[in-house]
Amino acid sequence: MNKEKLMERSRFIAVLSRYFNDYLPSRRSEKTLIHYRVVMAKFLRHIAERSSRRLDELSFEDITRDSVEGFIMMLQEDEKLSASTCNN
């Protein structure tokens, strides 16, 4: 793997970490923060499973319109969530 790809993955992890540890806690309740973390973990696992990769191999490039739409469809089909629940 090239150095650029490794740096992109490190940046991805750093940005997610800062978002959940620095930005959100002052803006959302603890309950909301926990929910966001659970949903993000599900989303990243969904992407990893669909791409046959490990979580630590994901980067910003993996978050696409198709990956988001696929995740929402999975939530609606597998978890029986309504469209309005998935879009909020």
The structural domains of the chain, with segments of one domain joined by +, span: 3-87
| Whole-number pLDDT of residue 88 | 55
Q: Please tell me which residue, 10 or 86, carries the higher pLDDT value.
A: 10
47-52 LR contacts (CB < 8 Å, sep 24+):
47/71
Two structure tokens written together for 6: 């490794």
Two structure tokens written together for 36: 């966001």
| Residue 87 pLDDT class (50, 70, 90 cuts) | low
Condensed to tens digits (0 to 9), the pLDDT of residues 7-65 reads: 777 888 899 999 999 999 999 999 999 999 999 999 999 999 999 998 888 988 899 99
pTM of the model: 0.80
